[in-house]
Structure 1
């Protein structure tokens, strides 16, 4: 069975439509930029409700609870890895420079026997849709299209 992940695509009008994306932390992603960013999201098992997981993961990856408001289901996509990602759009705002992500531990450098701690997300930023399409994981670009269909002015 494919891994499942759920997340929140936070958006705002300034006056153009902008979305909040996060960049994965850790040494593998340190020098990757284009097609590396993502919506704040995380894996969950079948027993956990997808929306509850999306809300939890948003807080874990940004250090902030999402704004209260109407959540719009953006459906799901299948990433190249086979992982199925489900997303909800939420209008709101967040200081991207102030995020505080949870961390993970891994052996680094490889085969060193030393454990190092890294943030799950090392930064966040607001992007206009055209720029976001260049930065986001290619499969997740469908969420940007669905968002634009519903909320672009």
Structure 2
């Protein structure tokens, strides 16, 4: 393992609905994730290089994974978490709205079925979901649940 962990940046979209705070989370696409739910969801995010500002990468990845640009509003810094894989994820939050049913994700290729010699394309994100913070904490990768806690704390201080 290299001494430099991979770095991802993501953007947690939030809105204040009639029933309170809601956040938009995404489910990874492809056959490896098809039957996984709780603990498998994520903040829209992706890898970035050291020469790209994390906030710029978060906005770029949001656009690539959801098919529309994020709102132009001010970003709230949510800090970093380290995933079990060692990857470090930096996240920001921005207030806005988006129809989760209309997302169009970029795609990736992988050999599938295994050892078949064939490659197939899959969406990087197969669905998005607006949910309350408790549902988000259950569905998100456990390390990323901290972003929801930090967002709630930040909003309560306003």
TM-score interval, smaller chain: over 0.9
Q: 1:54 aligns with which of 54, 58, 61?
A: 58
Q: What do you get for the CA RMSD once the two structures are aligned?
A: 1.0
Q: Which residue of 2 aligns with 1:83?
A: 87
Please list the CA deviations of residues 86-110 of structure 1 after superposition, one character each: whole Å capped at 9, or x if unmatched: 0001000000000000000110001
1:45 alignment counterpart: 49
Choose from 3, 14, 21 the match for 2:6.
3
Question: What is the count of residue pairs matched by the alignment?
Answer: 153
Q: 2:70 and 2:49 mapped to 1: Cα distance? A: 22
Query: Structure 2: where are the runs of 5+ without partners?
Result: none
Aligned-partner Cα distance in 2 for 1:6–1:136:
15
Distance in 2 of aligned mates of 1:150 and 1:51: 18
CA separation in 1, counterparts of 2:17 and 2:76? 20
Provide the C-alpha distance between the structure 2 equivalents of 1:44 and 1:113, rounded to a whole number of angstroms: 30
Residue matched to 1:100:
104
SS of the equivalent of 1:9 reads strand
Separation of aligned partners in 2, 1:143 and 1:34: 16
- How far apart are 1:28 and its partner, in Å? 0.4
Q: Which runs of 4+ in 1 moved over 6 A?
A: none
Identify unmatched segments of 5+ residues in structure 1: none
Is residue 39 of structure 2 the alignment partner of residue 35 of structure 1? Answer: yes
Distance, in Å, in 2 between the alignment partners of 1:136 and 1:50 is 21
Per the alignment, residue 152 of structure 2 pairs with 148
TM-score (structure 2 length as normaliser): 0.95
